[in-house]
A and B are shown apart, each in its own frame.
Chain A
Amino acid sequence: MIKKIKASISEKIILVHLILLGIITFGTYIVVSNECLFIKNYKPKNINFTNPNNIAILNAPCGNVIIELYPEISPNGVKRFKNLIRANAYEDVAFHRVIKNKLIQAGDLEFGKKGSLDYGKIGNGKSGMGTIKSEIYNKFTYVKGSVGLARTFKNDTEDSQFFIILQDEPLFEGEYTPVGKVLYGLEVLEKIKYQRNSEYILRPDFINSFKMLN
């Protein structure tokens, strides 16, 4: 005959503690592994914009980044940017240059596409549409969230690559063609993958989609 052994109170307490520990560990794992957990994903449909025709929505791994474009400051730069957005050219393109809390750069359509990334050449790619002239003489203050077109060392070499700054950069005024400013979702950009030891990213994050609101 088998005797039924009753668990003592202390054994029951230990069991409850073990269950709690398991729950906490599992919960912590979920929180830690999901870096986007506390990032607000802005829905453009829920926001009223004063210039809806100049609103672009960039979808990154942690959500939407809503950008207002400034055609009155850089007409040609914004025209090029809009054309590429409307052509869905930026979809699956890498955030290939990321400096923590400083800037993110993307838009290499030639060497930065998912599936055909070329680490040796990324950052040097072209759109095939040719370069455009720099528009750097209108007043524009580069503050956190400003969006500009990247170029080589020379002016008038802007093409498809763009950057978004994550801190104020007063020296950028008069150097880079500004195209807009992030209205919502800077925290999404702050979660883009970066590397401590390099500006260029191994296995980078990608733009999921980039569309105009209208």
Chain B
Amino acid sequence: MYHILLNSNTIIINSMSALRLILLVFIWITPVYGNSIYNLIKIPNLEIYEINTQNKLKYFYAARPFRLGTQKNIVCSNPDKKDLEIKYKIIYKNLSRYSYDYLKIINLKYIVMCENLSISELYTAGIPDNIMKTLILDIKFNEDYFERVIHHEVFHIIYLQYKEIFNEEEWIKFNNSKFKYAECSTCTKNIGLKKYEKTKGFFTEYSMSTASEDMAEVYSHMIHLKKREIDQIRKLDPILNNKISYIESKIKQIDNSFTF
């Protein structure tokens, strides 16, 4: 029995040494290639799509699927080239509305385009990272609201960058006293993005998830809708009127020259 154990231990030790040797050889022969994009924003497998833009936004796309985060729970795939071509034009058109100075203030510089973006297996339209000045966008996310959602995600960058300016306690007071947001944006099944015909304090079902998502929905509608539509909503919905004024004043506080 002891002999067998000894043998199996020897085998284990030998196989571990062999594994170590293989790993060492692998490390030794793996050349290092500096990747500028990875060094800048710490997302692997990206390639440049367009970097010569008027507002100096740099567009990258996933050339291969990538995983991110300490738990590697952020996953995204490489998009189809034709889809990318179409969606890039839409993203570019929408983000061109922001000036270089505004983008500098809100700390957004890099746009990563990929497909089937998920965080902890929950699909999402975008992931903002103000520290890395990066917004990851899923180009296949809900076609109907794709353009507006781009601005929704831009707001999240702004919110993260200026958390001290956007006071959730103040925001909550705009709603009816009986209303309560969900615990988190993924804690609710009410994630509809269709704009309500009769708003009653909220633009969409998703607005009711959390205060910050509500702010992002208000901001994105302010950008996306025509001025007369916003004016109409302001006249008919006093709650939304307050929310719109709030976002407007806070954005002015961040960049006085910005106009919706």
Chain A residues packing against B (C-beta within 8 Å): 99, 102-103, 137, 153-154, 169-172, 174-175, 195-199
Contacts and interface: CB of A to CB of B under 8 A. Distances in A.
A199 B35 CA distance: 11
A153 B131 CA distance: 8
Interface of B: 27-34, 36-37, 40, 48, 51, 56, 58, 104, 109, 131-132
A199 B34 CA distance: 8
Contacts of A171: 36-37, 40, 48, 51, 58
Contact of B27 (A99, A154, A197): A197
B109 A174 contact: yes
Contact of B36 (A154, A169, A195): A169
Contacts of B51: 170-171
B25 to A, nearest CB: 11
Contacts of B131: 153-154
Nearest to A173: B56
A172 B109 CA distance: 12
A196 B30 CA distance: 7
Most chain A Cβ neighbours within 10 Å, of B27, B28, B30, B33: B33
A149 B29 CA distance: 31
A120 to B, nearest CB: 18
Contacts of A103: 34
B44 to A, nearest CB: 15
A2 to B, nearest CB: 60
8 nearest A-B pairs in the assembled complex, by CB-CB distance: A99-B34, A102-B34, A196-B31, A171-B36, A199-B32, A169-B36, A197-B28, A197-B30
A198 B36 contact: no
Nearest to A137: B104
B40 to A, nearest CB: 6
Given A170-B51, A171-B37, A175-B40, A198 B56 contact: no
A214 B127 CA distance: 51
A115 B222 CA distance: 62
A199 B27 CA distance: 13
Contact of A196 (B32, B34, B48, B56): B32
Contacts of A153: 131-132
A198 B29 CA distance: 10
B151 to A, nearest CB: 23
Contact of A174 (B32, B36, B56): B56
Contacts of A172: 36
Contacts of B29: 197
19 contacts: A99-B33, A99-B34, A153-B131, A169-B36, A171-B40, A171-B48, A171-B51, A171-B58, A174-B56, A174-B109, A196-B31, A196-B32, A197-B27, A197-B28, A197-B30, A197-B32, A198-B32, A199-B32, A199-B34
Contacts of B56: 174
Most chain B Cβ neighbours within 10 Å, of A102, A171, A175, A199: A171
A175 B37 CA distance: 12
A181 to B, nearest CB: 18
Nearest to B30: A197
A133 to B, nearest CB: 14
Nearest to A97: B34
B31 A197 contact: yes
B139 to A, nearest CB: 21
A198 B28 CA distance: 9
